[in-house]
Amino acid sequence: MSGPILSVRGLVKRFGGLVATDGVTIDVRPDEIHALIGPNGAGKTTLISQLVGELRHDAGTIELEGRDIGALPTARRIGLGLGRTFQITCLLPEYTVLDNVATGVQVRQGHSFRFWGNVRGETALRETALSFLETIGLAGRADEQVANLSHGEQKQLELAVALATEPRLLLLDEPMAGLGHSESRQMVALLMALKTKVSMLLVEHDMDAVFALADRISVLVYGRVIATGTADEIRDNADVRAAYLGEGDELC
């Protein structure tokens, strides 16, 4: 398939009188990292929530590989190849690192109506899970409780769990948020390496990371996409500069 993996057309979401998403149109192509940037309150997380189906949009269409997924519940969308990470980490707090990923693998396989065998004793499941942890560089912490992980490690685990669902398109909600400088660079390298396997829509404030990773960038302001283009095009765009300067933020 040569068309876009994700195609969003004219998406609208209103909260009472407030228009949080105002006719957003955005594409993610195969093997592309498409970054979504914008000042605080621009509606980036709201957009992600609509894409995964935690919020219902009021108008517009969401297509995943040409299929309209706008009416499906979250679980179905994930099953069709959508994956996501959370801005504020969202893990299973009582499980170990490995169990978190293994649960992801198990759900992906879809055989959860098994009542007899010990799930912790399924070597195939655990090996698959471990391989995702190796990809992410967290294999050494496999038996650690989630609560004992550092913030950076939790962010990495988020990514490993998302990968375990074998997504075709990954929605990343600020994967660098709260990371230190070296952790950020590690995460950038990680995402770079994953790029050939999975397309990404990357919501991020860290402009270094965005410019290092993104093939294309869209700028969201007050729920509206004001520009889409390559890094250079966005840097030179007058509207974008105005929007960011108005916020008192510096671009780069």
Site of interaction with another protein (CB under 8 A): 15, 52, 54, 73-76, 78-79, 84, 86, 90-95, 99, 103-104, 106-108, 111-120, 122, 161-162, 164-165
Which among 66, 67, 43, 65 has a CA at the least distance from the CA of 55? 43
Based on CB atoms, which residue is closest to another protein, 75 or 189?
Answer: 75
Dihedral of the CA atoms 191, 193, 197, 199 (nearest 10)? 30
Rank residues 45 and 184 by Cβ distance to another protein and give the closer one. 45
Minimum CB distance to another protein, residue 63 (Å): 18
Quick one: 135 or 186, whose CB is closer to another protein?
Answer: 135
Min CB(228)–another protein separation in Å: 27
Choice between 162 and 225, CB closer to another protein:
162
Which residue's CB is nearer to another protein, number 124 or number 252?
A: 124
Cα(215)–Cα(228) distance, rounded to whole angstroms? 11
Query: In this structure, are residues 14 and 46 in contact, taking their beta carbons and an 8 Å threshold?
Result: no
Nearest approach, Cβ of residue 115 and another protein (Å): 5
**Min CB(211)–another protein separation in Å:** 28
Let me know the angle formed at the C-alpha of 146 by 140 and 152, rounded to the nearest 5 degrees.
70
Here the tokens at position 176 are 């660098």
62/220 Cα distance (integer angstroms):
17
Measured in whole angstroms, how far is the alpha carbon of residue 218 from the centre of its chain?
15
The tally of CA atoms less than 13 A away on the side-chain side of residue 40 is 3
- CB of residue 24 to another protein, shortest distance in Å: 20
| AA identity, residue 103 | T
CB of 69 to another protein, least distance (A): 13
Direct distance between the N- and C-terminal alpha carbons of the chain, in angstroms, rounded to an integer: 35
Would you say 114 or 181 has its CB closer to another protein? 114
